[in-house]
Amino acid sequence: MANFLAPADLSKAFVGISEKKASIPAAKMLVLGILAGVYIGFAAHVATTIATGPEDWFGVKKFLIGAVFSCGLMLVIIPGSELWTGNNLMVIGLLDKKIGFGGLMKNWGLVYLGNLIGSLLLAFIIAQSSGLLAGNIGATAIKIAAGKVSVSTIGDMSHNYAFFFRAVGCNWLVCLAVMMAISAQDIAGKVLAIFFPIMAFVAAGFEHCIANMYFIPAGIFAKNFSGAVDGAVKLGVSEKAIENLNWASMWTQNLGVVTLGNLVGGAVFTGAVYWWLYVKKSD
């Protein structure tokens, strides 16, 4: 017996998975979303810690950041929770007419909200945890967050344009990681299936909206510590960029366009394509 699902069987399995996800009671759906936001936040904090320090060995450092970040999706998939980006694959059930548009929107809306609450909760906890964001790690958090919301001039759309396509690539890989993890029938297989695509998207510099729900708030909270702000300036972050790092820019310069790009990468380039290839009945 094979210890993984073949592509056709895997794609068809997501029809049933979509039905189960759409039928989760609203309260449980929200809590499962909160858990996933916390789990991705854990991985994002560890990635921030790994990113702190000299810029030597650029490629190796990128690999290590991606390697530790893969822990986030492992925590989501194996213990079980609801991640909005992975749930973009529910479009397979929608296209196969096994779930309705209302059920899809209910899941996506509650899970996205839960992911946001969980990410904010963990960012707040980290900010209160004996100065974890007060020193060098806080400086790195500001640098990461400022880079995600910075624009060169007022009205410059090149930032959003670039981040849209970074987000497309990101969730294309994330949803492939989810599919591969579901395909694997044992824990070791799931871990390996998750590790490589997630490491790849982080090392490549792609954008994940749920991860950014932690990265950007962590940077905003770190601004409350003078040591972190001074450290960020030493890392080359301009005062203007630090000033532009706020709750409004989080949405206007990042989460809005990154969420849209993630949706295209996950629902269209992965979910819809695999539905057409393996689930759609031939005419």
Q: Looking up tokens 């929770």, which residue turns up?
A: 81
What is the per-residue DSSP string for 176-231?
HHHHHHHHB-SHHHHHHHHHHHHHHHHHHT---HHHHHHHHHHHHHHTT-HHHHHH
| Residue 146 C-alpha from the chain's centroid | 17
Q: Indicate whether this model's pTM tops 0.85.
A: yes
Q: Which of 3.30.530.20, 3.40.50.1100, 1.20.1080.10, 3.40.1000.10 would CATH assign to domain 7-279? A: 1.20.1080.10
Average pLDDT, the chain: 94
Q: Is the pLDDT of residue 1 over 70?
A: no
* Spatial contact of 214 and 117, defined as CB atoms under 8 Å apart: no
pLDDT 10s digits, 58-114: 788 899 999 999 999 999 999 999 999 999 999 999 999 999 999 999 999 999 999
- The pLDDT assigned to 30 comes to 98
Q: Name, in order, each residue with C-beta under 8 angstroms of 150's C-beta and a sequence gap of 6 or more.
A: 159, 241, 244, 253
- CA–CA gap between residue 9 and residue 100 (Å, rounded): 22
CA 148, 152, 153, 156: dihedral to nearest 10 degrees?
A: -70
Tokens of 274: 């695999």
- CA–CA gap between residue 279 and residue 273 (Å, rounded): 10
Q: Is the pLDDT of residue 177 over 70?
A: yes
Asked which of 54-63, 209-218, 233-242 is least confident by mean pLDDT, the reply is 54-63
Phi/psi at 262 (5° precision) = -60, -40
pLDDT 10s digits, 213-232: 999 999 999 999 999 999 99
Tokens of 272: 């819809």
* Spatial contact of 126 and 218, defined as CB atoms under 8 Å apart: yes
Portion of the chain with pLDDT greater than 90, in percent: 88
With both helix axes pointing from N to C terminus, report the angle between 136-149 and 26-51 in degrees, rounded to the nearest 10.
Answer: 110
Q: Is 4 helix (H, G, I), strand (E, B) or coil?
A: strand
- CA–CA gap between residue 108 and residue 82 (Å, rounded): 9
Q: Is 187 helix (H, G, I), strand (E, B) or coil?
A: helix
Portion of the chain with pLDDT greater than 70, in percent: 96
Closest CA to 90 of 26, 169, 19: 19
- CA–CA gap between residue 62 and residue 44 (Å, rounded): 13
pLDDT 10s digits, 5-35: 999 999 999 999 999 999 999 999 999 999 9
- The pLDDT assigned to 113 comes to 98
